[in-house]
Amino acid sequence: MEGWLDTQGAPELHAELDKLGEDVKSLVFEFAGLEYISSSGVREVVSAHKKMNGAFMVKNASAGIMSIFKATGIDRKIKFE
């Protein structure tokens, strides 16, 4: 993902997650290009984690993005690399 995952980008991500078929068993989000995440973006990340029954990972999140996940405690539930 690139840029901002906010109230404008989150619905687009939600729509893409809804398209995932039952054959998708795991999911990795690449955050190297992500500059900002809002609460609506965080909500979609958590939704993806739930949809994959925990077979989900976020890679290369910046320190700023990670601080948001740490502040909410989500970093203890989702795998970050």
Residue 5 in this model has a pLDDT that exceeds 90: yes
22: confidence class by pLDDT, cuts 50, 70, 90: confident
pLDDT at 46: 96
Q: Which two tokens stand for residue 19?
A: 């398209």
pLDDT at 47: 94
C-alpha distances in angstroms, 53 versus 2, 34, 38, 57, 71? 25, 24, 23, 11, 23
pLDDT at 54: 84
C-alpha distances in angstroms, 24 versus 6, 17, 66, 80? 25, 10, 26, 20
pLDDT at 14: 95
CATH of the domain at 7: 3.30.750.24
The pLDDT tens digits of the residues spanning 24-66 come to 999 999 999 999 999 999 999 999 999 999 899 999 999 999 9
Q: What is the total count of domains within the chain?
A: 1
Residue range of the domain that includes 9: 2-17+25-80
